[in-house]
Amino acid sequence: MDLEAVSKRSAFHAKPQGLILQYGTAGFRTNAQHLDHIMFRMGLLAVLRSKQTRSTIGVMVTASHNPEEDNGVKLVDPLGEMLAPSWEEHATRLASAEEQDLPKVLAAIVEREAVDPQQTAFIVVGRDTRPSSEKLSQSVIDGVTVLGGQFHDYGLLTTPQLHYMVYCRNSEGRYGQATIEGYCQKLSRAFVELMKQASCSGDGSRWVKVDCANGIGALKLKEMEHYFRQGLSVLLFNDGTEGRLNHLCGADFVKSQQKPPQGMAMKPGDRCCSFDGDADRIVYYYCDAAGRFHLIDGDKIATLISSFLKELLLEIGENLNIGVVQTAYANGSSTRYLEEVMKVPVYCTKTGVKHLHHKAQEFDIGVYFEANGHGTALFSEAVEARIKRLAQELEDEKGRAARMLASFIDLFNQAAGDAISDMLVIEAILALKGLSVQQWDAIYADLPNRQLKVKVADRRVISTTDAERQAVTPPGLQEAINDLVKKYKLARAFVRPSGTEDVVRVYAEATSQESADTLAYEVSLAVFQLAGGIGERPQPPF
């Protein structure tokens, strides 16, 4: 490895002095103007990780649901997973190193991780539709090549498509073909197969309205549509031809504002969904006859999916261990419904999909979703092999159920939460069960809830335990929250420092919107007072 060449090349990707960025929950993310050196350095790091794991590593250039002027980058590990935590630290160190220290920091990582410099490296790169993404992805490639790495640039991809490509390449084709064609065919074949089973229930002309957040999802759905048209028509809105990326639209906007995106023509009863800017999140919604908006978030998606998979297993007569993984943000009603009515065990992890993904791998079938709509289902290798065998061996109703489950296994993107794949899964389940969007929504009633943000001088003063549901520091904060929660029926509240924004997040839920709002406000005041609030005191959200 020619570290001198790295130094020379790095001069073309100079780091603004003093700029310190951290590899957070979703990689590096900030205004695109500050990211060129980060991209170059992540190209370098990807090469080291690839050499160490002797596998293909992915680099995705995107800032997901953040504004168009932002950008970001994250690395994808061999099985399509998020980068291992110890390497996140290397990423932060490498990104923060001043120019002259770069070779030293690289050499330290090589030594610490026992990277064999002679080993070959292969990197795949993808990017979203932001104006800054193309140039930034070239900087990644510059970093890859200066360290002698080979690469394939996929160009425009959704984030989950890149995760899929990495997984395929490292599974010697067992998971699928590492091409867009391979992705479209794998998912569409499974979907069309499932919809054939549903057509006997009389619904041959399904359609759904999709808000693409003016992002990559629109391009990729257009590219894929003809593969699955037999089973579903998609009516695209916010397809990027006019509006700005994520501006007043997209899954994050719809979930956090609890209202429809701009630019979508919604009639009462229409089944609608929104992707986020890199198409790894999805939420559904509809409007009733009185014009009231109803959101169907990640929790209800997880409930629909896990209940359906459980029913299929029952029909096949297989007793497999199925679990649902959520975070503290999951609506209390969803947890209660899953545990008490569906008798499905539920686990809570820290925020951030890597934690959920990791936990879900412990089950035969693990379904995970963040309330904001990021999630998927994972099937252990043994289960996948067994179901695919049963699909061929069994006959009658059992055989039909096994073949359906086998198709669902193919339809899920098991590398990462994927809005396109999840949408097809949901559409197939609704069609197979003959459920309308209103009937799906009626499975349980969400507890009213409120999320607020509080600015503090240093959010690291708040530390948490019990999957972020209890604050350990600063002293007195948890006691204050407990006292406030006690005032309301069936209420719950917690606070945690955000991993992607410089704020403390406050969450509260209760039996009425008024109580949830008041509780969230009171907890915000407690944070402001006990955790070093800055600027204006929190205002009531009503």
Ligand X SMILES: CC(=O)N[C@H]1[C@@H](OP(=O)(O)O)O[C@H](CO)[C@@H](O)[C@@H]1O
In order of 141, 173, 319, 396, the CA distances from 387 in angstroms are: 41, 19, 12, 15
26 binds, among Mg ion, ligand X, none (CB under 5 to 8 A by kind): ligand X
Q: Does 501 bind ligand X (CB under 6 A)?
A: yes
Residue 276 marked ligand-binding: yes
Cβ proximity to ligand X: between 15 and 281 the closer is 281
Cβ proximity to ligand X: between 503 and 525 the closer is 503
What sign has the CA pseudo-torsion 431, 433, 439, 442? negative
Q: Say which residues have a Cβ less than 8 Å from residue 127's Cβ, sequence separation at least 6.
A: 60, 61, 62, 133, 134, 136, 137, 155, 156, 157
352 binds, among ligand X, Mg ion, none (CB under 5 to 8 A by kind): ligand X
What sign has the CA pseudo-torsion 139, 140, 145, 147? positive
Q: Which residues does residue 296 pair with via DSSP β-bridges, in sequence order?
A: 284
Q: Crossing angle of helices 36-53/85-96, nearest 10°?
A: 140
Q: Token match 């549903």: residue?
A: 198
276 binds, among Mg ion, ligand X, none (CB under 5 to 8 A by kind): Mg ion
Shortest-Cβ-distance residue relative to ligand X = 499
Q: Does 498 bind ligand X (CB under 6 A)?
A: yes
Residues found near Mg ion in the complex (CB under 5 A): 64, 276, 278, 280
Q: Say which residues have a Cβ less than 8 Å from residue 79's Cβ, sequence separation at least 6.
A: 166, 167, 170, 171, 415
| Shortest Å distance, C-beta 76 to ligand X | 15
Residue 469 marked ligand-binding: no
Q: Which of residues 25-44 bind ligand X (CB under 6 A)?
A: 25-26
| Shortest Å distance, C-beta 70 to ligand X | 12
Residue 370 marked ligand-binding: yes
Residue 64 marked ligand-binding: yes
> Strand order of the sheet with strand 150-156?
28-31, 70-76, 56-61, 122-127, 150-156
- The DSSP call for residue 342 is S
Residue 16 marked ligand-binding: no
Q: What is the number of H-type helices and E-type strands within the chain?
A: 18, 19
Q: CB under 6 A: which stretch of 156-164, 283-291, 349-357, 436-444 binds ligand X?
A: 349-357
| Shortest Å distance, C-beta 24 to ligand X | 7
Enzyme catalytic residues: 64
Two structure tokens written together for 122: 């292969």
| Shortest Å distance, C-beta 174 to ligand X | 28
Q: Which of residues 361-420 bind ligand X (CB under 6 A)?
A: 370, 372
Q: Is the backbone of residue 477 left (phi > 0), alpha (psi -120 to 50) or beta?
A: alpha
How far does CA 186 lie from the centroid of its chain? 21
Pairing of strands 346-349, 322-327: parallel
Cβ proximity to ligand X: between 42 and 504 the closer is 504
Q: Does 450 bind ligand X (CB under 6 A)?
A: no
- Site track for ligand X across 301-330, x = CB under 6 A: ----------------------------x-
278 binds, among ligand X, Mg ion, none (CB under 5 to 8 A by kind): Mg ion
Q: Contact with ligand X (CB under 6 A): which of 215, 277, 352, 373?
A: 352
- Angstrom distance (rounded) from CA 351 to CA 345: 19
Residue 499 marked ligand-binding: yes
Q: Does 74 bind ligand X (CB under 6 A)?
A: no
How many CB atoms neighbour CB 356 within 10 A? Answer: 28
Residue 280 marked ligand-binding: yes
Q: CB under 6 A: which stretch of 49-57, 101-109, 235-243, 350-358 binds ligand X?
A: 350-358
Annotated binding site for Mg(2+): 64, 276, 278, 280
Task: List residues near ligand X by CB under 6 A.
Answer: 25-26, 64, 329, 351-353, 370, 372, 498-501, 505
Annotated binding site for substrate: 370-372, 496-500, 505
Annotated binding site: 64, 276, 278, 280, 370-372, 496-500, 505
